[in-house]
Amino acid sequence: MNNQPTTTPPSQRHKSGKSRRPSVARMAAAILVATPVALTPWSAAQNAHAATKDPTVKKSVASVLAARKKPTPRTGAQKPLPALTKAQYLAQKPAWSSKTCSTAARVAADTGNSPYPIECARISTPLDWQDFSKGSINLNITRLKHSGKARSARPLFVNPGGPGSPAGEFVSAIADSKESLRTTHDIIGVDPRGTGLSSPVECPLPDFTPKDQRDTSKAVRERMWQSYKQWTQSCTSKHPKVLPHITTANTVADMDLVRQVLGFKTIDFFGTSGGSWMGAWMAKLYPHSTGRVLTDANAKFTGDWRSSFALMPQGFQRRWDKQALPWIARHNKDFGLGTTASEVRNNYEKIRSEVAKGRVRDLTPASFDATLMQMLYSDESLSSIGATLKQLNVSLRGSKGTVKMPSGQTFEPEDNESLLSTQTVRTAIVCNDTNFDRRRESLEKEYLNAQKKYPLQGSMLSVIAAPCAYWPWAPKKVPTINGSGSANILMIQGEVDPATPVEGARAAHAAHSATRMITIDNDGNHGAFTSAPDNKCVNNIALAWLQRGIWPRQDVTCKGAPLPMENKIFEVATP
């Protein structure tokens, strides 16, 4: 049996044979360089394994990030453009061209012999939907028109989550993974305000990341909080006119403006991870112009951002303890790390202790754990975890000096393109959207408890909301998201999803009367609808909803698939 990381499945590759979705490296960078950046969504989930095998990549993410080679902001302070009237906003005529698409969107659309003919356009939108006099900002729209015979098709707006990730490259990814959707839908991605090419707001990343997230000493905590304070004050003073208006409410209002400018009566919507939050808000705020909503890998969208992100440490620890370690143990012939999960864990801890001694070049315990953690997004990358640990184990045993991190998780410099706006917009959304306890003492208590209970990444994941302790603007008044007056939402949820744990999805489903939920038993991918291989049970129900409007009569549990190199399913119990 091959003991190397698995290659990218055909359904996730270019027709030219190359891996087609490059953004996992950008998200890995966000995880490792900036503690408060949340793990994102779709791109890392679907492509961790693809990035590990791409021969075109020059540097390992561990080397780049441990050296703290941070991206530089491409833009200065964002200043509002001239204000328009409502009639002027609605009368805009988009000028479509492939030349105005983002680099990431064009790369994603390039599939060798049959590239997707994406086209892009920009329009203006009010900075503040409650006060048009404050000026305008730009919105970037990426479109892939339908391939069916009908003269017109339903529009499917898509969002990859974050919150804060641009949507351009997600358009081609959806078309690639769900080809039949092109026969019924125009697939449209709008970079959310502040991201991608939609008047991006960028701030440098925080200047401090602990070398070891298990070190929660007072000195480390003080440095960490000072770093958040300095970053927040610097960022909010750089973009004081724009950041207060980076909210989900304004973002979905932008989507509805795009709908009207493009001449659609209603739009369908697919959002994954943080995109589920956007879908729920669209369904609530624009129920008459929102058609069929499908969400995947769900945030707890009926609550606040802090409580939703607070589930992440538990989710990643469960995936690590209950699936990754046992899977590596079952394949001891390939990885040589032990025949039980306990033995594999002990070997991981031994390797980690050597990393802490500086024995692995350009690697810290924090970046080591984060690299392993981002491989947990996808079943296909479990073999990359095993291979990485195996190679380090062999190298460290065979040498008394320093060794190199195996070439695995990779980082392309161009993937920095939207890292800074992703970080900045995510923080703004989390702090502006909903009210929660943002006192330092409350956030620090959560940080300490999370690290104690979930040692893999508990502390680093629990401080995503930390900058909100210093955020200068009060959260906006938000709608009650409980299903009342909402369009219907069909939810897809993996039972062992690490980044958006099933507990959050179940809570949202229970609190929202206009939802149905498809649960995939024992599935640990972050996002099932665009995963490869397809889950036929999920596909049949989801596509029947999007393409024919067939609403499930009841919740459904679909059977998951065996993990790689296996032909049976090993049960993982969840509450």
Q: How confident is the model at residue 478 (pLDDT cuts 50, 70, 90)?
A: confident
Q: Report pLDDT digits (tens) over 294-330.
A: 999 999 999 999 999 999 999 999 999 999 999 999 9
Q: What phi and psi, each to the nearest 5 degrees, are found at residue 185?
A: -135, 145
How high does pLDDT run on average in the chain?
86
> What is residue 214's predicted lDDT score, i.e. its pLDDT?
95
> What is residue 53's predicted lDDT score, i.e. its pLDDT?
36
Half-sphere exposure of 408 (CA within 13 A, CB side): 27
pLDDT at 543 over 70: yes
Under DSSP, the state recorded for 117 is -
Q: Strand 410-411 to strand 59-60: parallel, antiparallel, or no bridges (unpaired)?
A: antiparallel
- For residues 48 and 403, the model is more confident at 403
> What is residue 413's predicted lDDT score, i.e. its pLDDT?
34
Q: Report pLDDT digits (tens) over 19-32.
A: 333 333 333 333 33
Rounded CA-CA distance 371/351 in Å is 14
% of residues, the chain, pLDDT over 90: 72
Domain residue spans of the chain: 24-74+316-412
pLDDT at 417 over 60: no
- For residues 36 and 71, the model is more confident at 71
> What is residue 31's predicted lDDT score, i.e. its pLDDT?
35
Q: How confident is the model at residue 155 (pLDDT cuts 50, 70, 90)?
A: very high
> What is residue 149's predicted lDDT score, i.e. its pLDDT?
78
Contact (Cβ atoms closer than 8 angstroms) between residue 277 and residue 434: no
Rounded CA-CA distance 101/190 in Å is 11
Classify residue 544 by burial, with Cβ atoms within 10 Å: 0-12, 13-18, 19+: middle
**Under 8 Å CB-to-CB from 131, ≥6 apart: which residues?**
none
> What is residue 419's predicted lDDT score, i.e. its pLDDT?
84
> What is residue 281's predicted lDDT score, i.e. its pLDDT?
98
Q: What phi and psi, each to the nearest 5 degrees, are found at residue 159?
A: -145, 130
> What is residue 29's predicted lDDT score, i.e. its pLDDT?
34
Token look-up 């067939």 returns 550
> What is residue 103's predicted lDDT score, i.e. its pLDDT?
84
Classify residue 430 by burial, with Cβ atoms within 10 Å: 0-12, 13-18, 19+: buried
How confident is the model over 194-200, as a mean pLDDT? Answer: 95
Whether a cis peptide bond, with omega within 30° of 0, leads into 413 is no
Pick from 45-54, 172-181, 298-307, 340-349: least confident: 45-54
Q: Report pLDDT digits (tens) over 503-533.
A: 999 999 999 999 999 999 999 999 999 887 7
Tally of residues, the chain: 575
Instruction: Kindly list the distances between the CA atom of residue 573 and the CA atoms of 62, 455, 496, 497, in Å, as whole numbers in the listed order.
Output: 33, 20, 9, 13
Rounded CA-CA distance 520/33 in Å is 33
pTM above 0.75, yes or no: yes
Rounded CA-CA distance 385/31 in Å is 17
> What is residue 416's predicted lDDT score, i.e. its pLDDT?
54
Instruction: Quickly list DSSP for 536-574.
Output: HHHHHHHHHHHHH----SS-EEEE--PPTT-SSPPP---
Classify residue 488 by burial, with Cβ atoms within 10 Å: 0-12, 13-18, 19+: buried
pLDDT at 62 over 90: no
Instruction: Kindly list the distances between the CA atom of residue 560 and the CA atoms of 34, 148, 493, 523, in Å, as whole numbers in the listed order.
Output: 33, 31, 11, 5
Classify residue 479 by burial, with Cβ atoms within 10 Å: 0-12, 13-18, 19+: middle
pLDDT at 60 over 50: no
Of 134, 11, 59, residue with least CA distance to 415: 59
% of residues, the chain, pLDDT over 70: 84
Q: Report pLDDT digits (tens) over 220-248.
A: 999 999 999 999 999 999 999 999 999 99
Instruction: Kindly list the distances between the CA atom of residue 315 and the CA atoms of 88, 164, 260, 301, in Å, as whole numbers in the listed order.
Output: 47, 21, 39, 17
Report the C-alpha dihedral over residues 211, 213, 217, 223, rounded to 10 degrees.
Answer: 60
